[in-house]
Structure 1
Amino acid sequence: MNPIYMAYGMLALAIITEVTGSTFLVKSEGFTKIGPSLIVVITFCIAFYLLSQVIKVIPLGIAYAIWAGVGIVLTAVIGYFVFRQSLDVPALVGIALIVSGVIVINLFSHSAGH
């Protein structure tokens, strides 16, 4: 399999595990609940391990921009639907700008490695 496809697959898994960890960070209530706290630590360790493998193929700046952008969007969506946290217009505009940036990087940057 093409290494770039593997790297993007691992990046997707890294993002999913990081977002899972962030979600359980809320549930850990400041690390006062052991179960959710353990999930946070485990998922973040997995996420950072995967990211460390991704940056062997995809440049750090590109990988981190995608990681952060997609992670912010998914975390905001989970916050809205799971935790009933509202998003105002400036938050939605900011998220749209982040998504736009990730799209520009992936479609037009020669640094992205595809």
Structure 2
Amino acid sequence: MNKWLPLAAAIALEVTGTLSLRAALDHPAWYVLVAVGYIGAFFSLSMGLRAGLGIGVAYGIWAACGVALTAVLAAVIFSEALTVLMGAGIGLVIAGVLCVELGSQHAEQGDHA
């Protein structure tokens, strides 16, 4: 579980940075949080990699969760569109990441056999 905590932090920080980028369009002071969010996200992602996450799995989960959370939160916070088709696309992204994760676990098990 130790390697997953930095990845969760990276996702939260990246989503925070991205949503802050949208907020900064109206209030430039938000750019500080944009920088902190993105720098923190890359630092946290590197800590997850150092803890043993594979880059393909980590980046896939990071990207998929980032897309899904950003789309949902942008709809809630900024009243941006979130259509059924967009929801289906988010579901496909998540399914793809699950396939990468399951394939990675299968490959690791094969290496130890």
| AA of the residue aligned to 2:57 | I
Q: Secondary structure at 1:6's aligned position in 2?
A: coil
Match of 1:23 in 2: 19
Counterpart CA distance in 2 for 1:43 and 1:8 is 18
Which residues of structure 2 form unaligned runs of 5+?
none
Counterpart CA distance in 2 for 1:89 and 1:40 is 29
Give me the CA root mean square deviation: 2.1
With normalisation by structure 1, the TM-score equals 0.83
Mapping for residues 1-114 of structure 1, pairs under 5 Å: 5-29=1-25, 33=28, 35-56=29-50, 57-110=52-105
Structure with bigger helix share is: 2
Query: When the two structures are aligned, how many residues end up with a matched partner?
Result: 108
On the 8 A contact 1:106/1:112 being kept in 2, the answer is no
With normalisation by structure 2, the TM-score equals 0.84
Which residues of structure 1 form unaligned runs of 5+?
none
| AA of the residue aligned to 1:6 | N
**After the TM superposition, which segments of 4 or more aligned residues of structure 1 sit over 6 Å from their partners?**
111-114
On the 8 A contact 1:59/1:112 being kept in 2, the answer is no
